[in-house]
């Protein structure tokens, strides 16, 4: 132990004697390690960001929408809508539901004295807020009496409120949705942006109002039934999702009279599935970026080898002397190896600080918070140790093999 401490002390002293060169050599490793740490931190930051987004939406959420999202011609014939009766049948058949809602989703033109804006409009029932886990900041959400009376009331997101009313309170103001006057009854709690866009730009009106007053044509099937654009089901937990999905599928296929070999004319998406797809995408991306960063670590390692070889040549006489006064082969080998390792480890430690600094700094530039994980630090430091060992062994071996007589005569 004392011997190791002694050789590390000697190595630091020797490296300190050639400070500029040592620092420049370390820089290669520092940049590599820093890049690996910063990228890994950003990767896990994005991962967590996505997880949080879905957690706020609920990972036990199943969404049913009409049509197929897949490429190619739409399967199962021309029918690409879901009716209110489809919704009722699903709710009647599917087990393990905590909450459920059906909604109409459309685009509307919203006009107030302050301006005009195109917005997504949701025709909803009160359960929508429950299923989506959304709450109002001020006023109230759509309730049953709004739906019962097909009232022209609207709940808006904070972005819309700002767009239409500047900084002023939007509650009880009158806005025009597709030229129909609506009274603002509530402003949603801000949810921020997601990968799906600005969640605070949405508006909500009663489902019945949407179906009967604003979007009559879009919400009527060829046979005259009322349609919905999305059915949201919240299950008791993630494990029952496959079971719920199979019930939904059989119910809808039966109701839509799809042939055995026909494709679904509806799409079932669950958040957990989407989450894992996105999650694996992000981790692939993180690994890919990390691998690119690791290449610079490799280049840094070659820099260490280069400098160590130069150092061995420069210090040939020193090596000769050390051998003459009793240094054994392995003593010289370990001296140069320890120097290479100290160089790469110091570079690695600086890289950890650099990477952590970048990760902390990035927090102020992006929506997500990079997470520096202990595992990525130990990975990076461990890797720089291996780099030092791997690229240091050859120069050290060369040094240890020098013949003391020739080395002492070297000029």
By the criterion CB under 8 A, which residues form the site for another protein? 2, 6, 17, 317-318, 320-331, 404-405, 408
Shortest CB 402 distance to another protein, Å: 11
How far is the C-alpha of 376 from the C-alpha of 254, rounded, in Å? 52
Shortest CB 333 distance to another protein, Å: 12
C-alpha of 36 from chain center: 17
CA dihedral 283, 285, 286, 292 (to 10 degrees): 150
**Nearest residue (CB) to another protein, 7 versus 219:** 7
Shortest CB 404 distance to another protein, Å: 5
- Among candidates 218, 247, 220, 222, which has minimal Cα distance to 235? 247
**Nearest residue (CB) to another protein, 174 versus 405:** 405
Please tell me the number of Cα atoms within 13 Å of 152 on its side-chain side.
Answer: 14
**Nearest residue (CB) to another protein, 324 versus 366:** 324
**Nearest residue (CB) to another protein, 63 versus 331:** 331
Shortest CB 328 distance to another protein, Å: 5
Shortest CB 332 distance to another protein, Å: 10
Task: Identify the DSSP state of 8.
Answer: H
Shortest CB 403 distance to another protein, Å: 8
Alpha helices in 256-373 (DSSP H): 271-314, 316-324, 329-362
Shortest CB 9 distance to another protein, Å: 11
- Among candidates 277, 312, 288, which has minimal Cα distance to 401? 312
C-alpha of 271 from chain center: 14
C-alpha of 392 from chain center: 38
Q: Which two tokens stand for residue 33?
A: 């390690």
**Nearest residue (CB) to another protein, 82 versus 307:** 307
- Burial of residue 247, with CB atoms counted within 10 A of its CB: 0-12 exposed, 13-18 middle, 19 or more buried: middle
Alpha helices in 58-175 (DSSP H): 84-93, 127-132, 144-148, 158-165
Compute the 3-state secondary structure of the chain and give helix, strand, coil in percent, each to the nearest 5.
Answer: 55, 20, 25
**Nearest residue (CB) to another protein, 18 versus 68:** 18
158-to-16, 107, 354, 377 alpha-carbon distances in Å: 59, 18, 38, 40
How far is the C-alpha of 374 from the C-alpha of 43, rounded, in Å? 14
**Nearest residue (CB) to another protein, 50 versus 342:** 342
**Nearest residue (CB) to another protein, 76 versus 320:** 320
Shortest CB 26 distance to another protein, Å: 19
130-to-56, 124, 127, 151, 231 alpha-carbon distances in Å: 11, 11, 5, 21, 13
Shortest CB 42 distance to another protein, Å: 43
**Nearest residue (CB) to another protein, 16 versus 224:** 16
């Amino acid at each position: 132990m004392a011997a190791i401490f002694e050789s590390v002390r000697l190595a630091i002293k020797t490296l300190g004697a050639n400070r500029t060169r040592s620092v420049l050599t370390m820089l290669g490793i520092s940049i590599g390690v820093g890049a690996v740490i910063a990228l890994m931190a950003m990767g896990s930051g994005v991962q967590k960001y996505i997880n949080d987004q879905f957690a706020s939406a609920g990972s036990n959420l199943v969404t049913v929408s009409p049509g197929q999202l897949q490429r190619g011609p739409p399967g199962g014939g021309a029918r690409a809508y879901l009716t209110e009766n489809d919704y009722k049948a699903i709710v009647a058949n599917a087990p393990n539901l905590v909450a459920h809602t059906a909604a109409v989703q459309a685009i509307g033109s919203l006009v107030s004295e302050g301006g005009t804006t195109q917005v997504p409009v949701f025709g909803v029932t009160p359960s929508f807020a429950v299923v989506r886990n959304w709450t109002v900041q001020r006023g109230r959400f759509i309730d049953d009496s709004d739906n019962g009376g097909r009232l022209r009331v609207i709940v808006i997101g904070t972005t819309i409120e700002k767009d239409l009313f500047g900084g002023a309170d939007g509650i009880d103001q009158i806005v025009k949705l597709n030229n129909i006057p609506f009274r603002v009854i509530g402003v949603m709690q801000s949810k921020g942006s997601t990968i799906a866009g600005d969640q605070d730009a949405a508006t909500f009106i009663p489902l019945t109002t949407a179906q009967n007053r604003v979007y009559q044509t879009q919400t009527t099937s060829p046979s005259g039934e009322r349609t919905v654009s999305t059915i949201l089901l919240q299950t008791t937990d993630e494990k029952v999702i496959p079971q719920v999905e199979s019930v939904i599928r059989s119910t809808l296929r039966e109701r839509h009279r799809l042939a055995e070999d026909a494709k679904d004319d509806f799409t079932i998406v669950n958040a957990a599935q989407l989450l894992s797809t996105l999650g694996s995408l992000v981790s692939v991306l993180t690994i890919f970026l990390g691998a690119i960063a690791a290449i610079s670590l490799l280049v840094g390692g070659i820099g260490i080898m280069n400098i160590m070889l130069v150092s061995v040549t420069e210090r040939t006489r020193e090596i000769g002397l050390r051998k003459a006064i009793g240094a054994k082969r392995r003593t010289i080998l370990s001296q140069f190896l320890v120097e290479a390792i100290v160089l790469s480890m110091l570079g690695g430690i600086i890289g950890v600080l650099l990477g952590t600094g970048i990760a902390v700094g990035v927090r102020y530039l992006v929506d997500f918070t990079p997470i520096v994980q202990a595992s990525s630090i130990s990975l990076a430091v461990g890797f720089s140790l291996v780099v030092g060992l791997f690229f240091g062994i050859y120069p050290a071996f060369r040094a240890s093999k020098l013949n003391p007589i020739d080395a002492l005569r070297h000029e």
